[in-house]
Amino acid sequence: MSKRTVLKALFTVIIIGNCMLLLLLYTPTRCTHLQVTKYTKKNIPYHTTKHTTLDDVYIAVRTSKSNHNGRMAVIHQTWFQLAKKQTWFFTDVEDEKLQNLTDGHMINTKCGESHSRRDLCCKMGVEISTFMTASESKWFCHFDDDNYINIPKLVDVLNGYDPDADWYLGKLSLNHPAIVTHNETKKTTRFWFGTGGAGVCISRPLVTKMKPFTM
């Protein structure tokens, strides 16, 4: 693959990643004990004295069979080289080639390979369960296979937050609160939400609180 082809593919990945809009399954009646705060660039609380390194970060990348030969090839040639030990790929089939390419860091979730909310949330559930049972990292970071990750910048940003507090860090895809209607009561709930498709990082204490709702 030529350098020009790699750069073109990388540019495509970045563009697609910025355009992704994915709302994860949300059950507002179960999460009333969690307080959500919308932060802007002016009031982000960079005040922790606890140091975060790359080894404190668990990076989960959601992919699928159809993207193994395209997007995964670009990831392997770019940012994955900076975080091989910390990155795991969650897919929907067994793939010996990908397993070797990622140094054994591929996990078959046995979820469906469609882009439906059910299959996407199934993979997210496996990601969180694996993080909680097979890792002691302070941060769980989820990305899709069309996201490009600036590894040094990621660590730098997380270093500004207390990993022992409840943090859900992501990017808003809407300029207004999302609205969910309850099936039984038909009442609506409004909330701000950083979508998984744009990449999110969650502190371990908050993941612990979320885990019962991901199964």
Between 35 and 141, the more confident residue is: 141
Domains of the chain: 5-45+52-213 (3.90.550.50)
Q: Which residue has the tokens 């660039």?
A: 41
> Which pair of structure tokens corresponds to residue 154?
């990621």
Residues 46-81: pLDDT tens digits?
Answer: 555 678 999 999 999 999 999 999 999 999 999 999
- Distance of alpha carbon 19 from alpha carbon 188, whole angstroms: 27
**DSSP-derived 3-state class of residue 157:** helix
pLDDT at 38: 52
Q: pTM (2 decimals)?
A: 0.74
Q: What is the pLDDT of residues 100-122, one digit of tens each?
A: 999 999 999 999 988 887 888 89
The pLDDT tens digits for 148-175 are 999 999 999 999 999 999 999 988 777 8
Q: What is the rounded radius of gyration, in angstroms, for the C-alpha atoms of the chain?
A: 17
